[in-house]
Amino acid sequence: MKKNEILEQILNEVDKHPEIMSRRDALKYLTMSPLAASVLASATVGTSVATASADVKGKIVIAGGGLAGMATAARLNNTISNADITVIEPDPISVSYQPGQTLVAAGVWTLDDIVYKRDDFLPKGVKLIQGSITAFDPENNKVVVDGSQEVAYDQLVVAMGASLNFGFIKGVEGLITSSGKDNAATKKTITQNGLHSLYFQDGAAATWKGIQELISKAKSHTGAEKLQAVYTMPHTPIKCGGAPLKIMYLTHARLKEAGVADKVQLTYYTDGGALFGIPDYNTPIVKQCEARGFKWNFKHNLVEVDAANNVATFDKWWEEKVYNEETESEETVKKHEMVQVKYDFMHVTPPMKAPPVVAESKLGNGNWVNVEKETLQHMDFKNVWVLGDNAGFIMGKTGGSARKQYKVVVDNMVASMSSKPLTAKYDGYTVCPLITGLGTVMLAEFNWTKKPTPSFPLDPMQERWIWWLLKVYALKPMTIYGMLSGKA
């Protein structure tokens, strides 16, 4: 897609929300701002093809037709002459814009703003198998679809996303493998009676209803003790690691807008030891949370929910030095205490892992898919490539990360098929537009070094309206119409 087409898609997004900004004002900003020009330019970078790519041959199978998988299919199709590519994907809305679920949960967008049809973005000439992979056989270069259909490959791309393991929490059910489906068991508790999660589409829409219910409850609340809103971060790596904080910020913004922020205490419970895992960003985030009156508890992992009585149980853990008489030495021992917390509203971020069919295959380690983190080549099977949320590294589980990864996968796959060295490297780039309010975002960018890697000449530690413009208007068109064309 050409740059002016990306601009038109951005302006189309502006038209959907005239209460925030008019098309005229947006166009004025987008055409005059050097920063906005940089954003638009970034939607068209990386369109060059790999050297001698026209000569490579082989059957390429892509396991997963979400954002990462379909973007890879498009770029391979743009790069290889007469490419033989098959995407295997059961979900007809697999390419829907998951980063937008935070905005749906805050009432800024609706589900209609983020749902896209998979088949509208299937690259011309790429074949689609609408089914579920039920087995991987990397030693024989094949996968099995729906328990019976064997599909052979020369090169395999694994991009199956992360599954939401709600069932790991006692009192909640379900393993959701796609944001837009498989949620019936989970919805028996999540989406009900103040218990919410934006991590699946129906859950995001219900979270906004839950925030509105909290506001209504706060308006009629006359007790001396504040209502309790609780937000959780689990013990596993997760996709969009900033989302649990974002929805806390946005709940506060809506409470403040309604004039009842002083009636609700917002508290963050994380299994980790910091609010944000990147120290340079953690410092301003702590100050922001202090200014808003948030509380937090570290080393607390949600293990059980009594949904009927609005009680959450956390495993509070710490480490102690103890003397071992047998070894006559000190050892570090992990201690635990179960802590019960009453809530009026709770946002649950579920534990996550790659879908079991791949995590528990010879490609996985039980939780994620094994991958060399720079080349994105599988550690054991050299004709297998891994990207997106199912990849076996803690960082890099964002759409912005996938935007960097899929180019590395394509370049290195083509090089491998040409018997050339793998020169493309993924540096761990991750971007988190941390929404801190209705109209403010702090753009956190970093890589394997865990240091800020800002793309723009502005202090990345500051909350800015400019980044709200980027998040609400620009990123979705850049992703849907840029990345899914294989060019952004």
CATH number at residue 208: 3.50.50.100
Q: What is the pLDDT along the chain (488 residues), one digit of tens a residue?
A: 455 666 777 777 778 767 667 777 777 666 655 545 555 555 444 334 444 355 899 999 999 999 999 999 999 999 999 999 999 999 999 999 999 999 999 999 999 999 999 999 999 999 999 999 999 999 999 999 999 999 999 999 999 999 999 999 999 999 999 888 889 999 999 999 999 999 999 999 999 999 999 999 999 999 899 999 999 999 999 999 999 999 999 999 999 999 999 999 999 999 999 999 999 999 999 999 999 999 999 999 999 999 999 999 999 999 999 988 888 889 999 999 999 999 999 999 999 999 999 999 999 999 999 999 999 999 999 999 999 999 999 888 999 999 999 999 999 999 999 999 999 999 999 999 999 999 999 999 999 999 999 988 889 999 998 888 888 888 898 889 889 999 87
Neighbours of 262 (CB within 10 A): 11
- Which of 296, 329, 352 terminates a domain? The answer is 352
Same domain flag for 72 and 201: no
Same domain flag for 139 and 186: no
Same domain flag for 299 and 379: no
Quote the domain boundaries for residue 125: 3-162+354-485
How far apart CA 85 and CA 70 sit, in angstroms, is 11
Same domain flag for 107 and 27: yes
Same domain flag for 49 and 75: yes
Same domain flag for 363 and 313: no
Q: Where do runs of H (alpha helix) occur along 114-268? A: 201-220, 243-257
Same domain flag for 116 and 70: yes
C-alpha to C-alpha distances, 218 to 31, 183, 211, 265, 305, nearest whole angstrom: 43, 29, 10, 11, 23
- Which of 326, 352, 378 terminates a domain? The answer is 352
Same domain flag for 450 and 337: no
Same domain flag for 371 and 341: no
Same domain flag for 415 and 435: yes
Same domain flag for 279 and 177: yes
Q: The dihedral of CA 236, 239, 244, 245: what is its sign? A: positive
Nearest Cα neighbor of 260 from 219, 211, 226, 217 is 219
How many structural domains does the chain have?
A: 2
Same domain flag for 246 and 348: yes
How far apart CA 138 and CA 57 sit, in angstroms, is 19
- Which of 330, 352, 374 terminates a domain? The answer is 352
Any idea of the CA torsion for 293, 451, 272, 468, to the nearest 10 degrees? Answer: 40
How far apart CA 405 and CA 190 sit, in angstroms, is 33
Residue-wise pLDDT tens digits, 26-39? 776 666 555 455 55
CATH number at residue 418: 3.50.50.60
